[in-house]
Amino acid sequence: MYEILQSAHSGLRWLVLATLIIAIVNSFGKTKGGVTFSSKDKKKALFALIFTHIQFLLGVVLYFISPKVVFAASSMKSDVLRFFLVEHVIMMVLAVILITVGYSKAKRTAMDGKKFKSIMLFYLLGLLLILAAIPWPFRDLGGSWF
């Protein structure tokens, strides 16, 4: 079961990154105003939000069953164990919060330019945190490309 969840979590990462980039790029040129926030714009932001939350739920399950997460004081001495126990989790939780806040602010704002600006800013900050928190293979944390 662990291997299936880990593969799903690793594979879904690419959908999360792609949908976030699509939502950010879509919003980037429209922040000045004058462009109506259409249902297509809302769907792009919503799909990024949904994939991010699904990824987060998979991550929460993995957090409690992964052999890479060891709840012991000695884990703080190991770069890999500390990364998965503390660093990865904190940065990903913050990223999910930022993306959720960005979508919520855009939903409540009446001005279309501000909707695009909220999505662009909060999604971009969330994306940067996600990119920093992924255990890329070149970081020697036991991660892979898929």
Find, among 39, 29, 26, 33, the residue nearest to 123 by Cα: 26
* CA angle 65–66–67, rounded 5-degree value: 120
Per-residue DSSP letter, 72? S
pLDDT, tens digit, 9 for 90 and up, residues 94-132: 999 999 999 999 999 989 889 999 999 999 999 999 999
pLDDT, tens digit, 9 for 90 and up, residues 70-82: 898 888 988 888 9
For 56-98, where are the E strands, in sequence order? Answer: none
pLDDT at 33 over 70: no
| 41 three-class SS | helix
CA 72 → CA 2, 53, 65, 136, 143, distances in Å? 21, 28, 15, 24, 21
